[in-house]
Each structure stands twice: as structure tokens, then as C-alpha cells.
Amino acid sequence: MSPETIPHPSPNSGPRRDGLTPHLIVLHYTAMESAEAALARLCDPEAEVSAHYLIAGNGQVFQMVAEDQRAWHAGVGQWAGQDDINSRSIGIELDNRGDHPFSEPLMHSLEALLRQIMPRWDIGEAGVIGHSDMAPGRKADPGPHFDWVRLARQGLAAPAGVDAGPIDPRPETFRSLARDAGFTSDVDDATLLAAVRLRYRPYATGPLCAEDYTPLGHTALWT
């Protein structure tokens, strides 16, 4: 059963540019102490930020911006070679500080909401991304505690790639594979590695290693 959506309009929105329609869904965490505080900020004209939806820790869903309008949630960034992500996406804020797991009621409501939005706009699993995916180095949300695997198992986010065989494990090869997966922002190697890990290996540390190639669909054979 889908949760009730509570209207809570934000003035921080406008028309999508160049006739664009959503083909991405960008997930964020609020990084605030409560859903009420986040809702107030996302609806404050002086803050100049918003999102289409906010999901509270108790599972309540608030809609601030109509889906056919442009919310101000993504900022500067790029995904799959495209910029102006605000005009190309629907933004969902999740009530979470970024330092703890996401609640079960929140995740249940997110899954239900994704099942509504994705067919409505013909958005496939590869179109559900994190803020950190399209703004590496600048943003870290929804962060290491977000359960991407859970969404992927339900077809609500892209799974890790299927092994397509061994490759030469050079940094430029990793960059090429990451670009193919959508990570096209112009960042240095360390920032790119951190962004890919945040999505697929959130607790990995150290330099680039063979395991970093696996979610991108290849086995790296180190010599």
C-alpha cells in the first residue's frame, strides 16, 4: 500500500528548461536533525533550494514541487554527459543526517514512491542515481548508509555490472568504465574513485584495486 502524499508547496521551483522532461530520479539525504526542519528549509524562498518530495523517517511523504516542474535540488553536476540535472530529474530528499541507517518506514515509502514515478515518466533502473553520482566531490548524499543493493534487487536502481571478463587495470581504464556507467563529471582520479565507491563499495578504502572494477562489470587482473 502506497503512503499518502501530503501537499506542502515550495516557492522554489520553475518550468523545466528547453522542453525537457524527467528521465532521472536523484536521491538525497537532508543532513538535518528532523524532517520538519528540512521541510522548512526546502520551502524557504531565501534558501533557494527545494525538491519534489521529502520522505520523513516515519514514512510520511511530502510533495513540494509538481513533477512536471523544475525543483532546485541537484545544483552543478553531470550524469551520462548531460548537465542541468534539475531540468532532467525528480529530486527526492530523505530524512537522514548522513551518519546513521535509513529507517524501515522511510525505505518502504521510497520504494512505493519510486514504483509510482518510474513508470509515469518511463524512467528505468539506471535512471535512479544519488546526488554524489552526479556531483562527485561536491556532494556525498545519500551516503554510505543508503542501501542501494536493496533497491537494485527490486529493479528500482541499477545493480552492479555483470562480469564481462578481465581487463588491463589502469586508472584510465577505470575512468573509461566509470564514464560508461554514467560518471562523466570532470573530476580527478581520486574523486572519481570515491564517487564510484560511495555508490557500490561505500566502506572501501585505499588506492584503486581489483575489486573497484567489479561493480563496473569487469575483473581486473593485477600483475
The pLDDT score that the predictor gives to residue 128 is 98
At 199-210, the pLDDT tens digits run 999 999 999 998
Whether residues 89 and 171 fall in one domain: no
Q: What is the pTM of this model?
A: 0.96
Whether residues 145 and 177 fall in one domain: no
Per the domain annotation, does 93 fall within a domain? yes
* Catalytic, out of 93, 104, 125, 172: 93
46 is an active site residue: no
Select from 153, 179, 201 the last residue of a domain: 153
**Phi, psi torsion values for 186, nearest 5 degrees:** -80, 90
CATH number, domain at 143?
Answer: 3.40.80.10
Q: Which residue has the cell 545519500?
A: 142
Q: Determine the Cα–Cα distance for residues 210 and 202; give it in Å rounded to an integer.
A: 15
Domain count across the chain = 2
pLDDT at 218 over 90: no
The pLDDT score that the predictor gives to residue 1 is 53
Categorize the per-residue pLDDT at 27 as very low, low, confident or very high, splitting at 50, 70 and 90. Answer: very high
At 94-140, the pLDDT tens digits run 999 999 999 999 999 999 999 999 999 999 999 999 999 999 999 99
Residues 179-191 have a mean pLDDT of 96
Q: Which residue has the cell 521551483?
A: 13
The pLDDT score that the predictor gives to residue 222 is 61
Q: Determine the Cα–Cα distance for residues 220 and 8; give it in Å rounded to an integer.
A: 49
pLDDT at 58 over 80: yes
Per the domain annotation, does 159 fall within a domain? no
pLDDT at 221 over 80: no
Whether residues 186 and 146 fall in one domain: no
β-sheet bridge partners, residue 6? 62
Select from 153, 180, 209 the last residue of a domain: 153
At 132-159, the pLDDT tens digits run 999 999 999 999 999 999 999 999 999 9
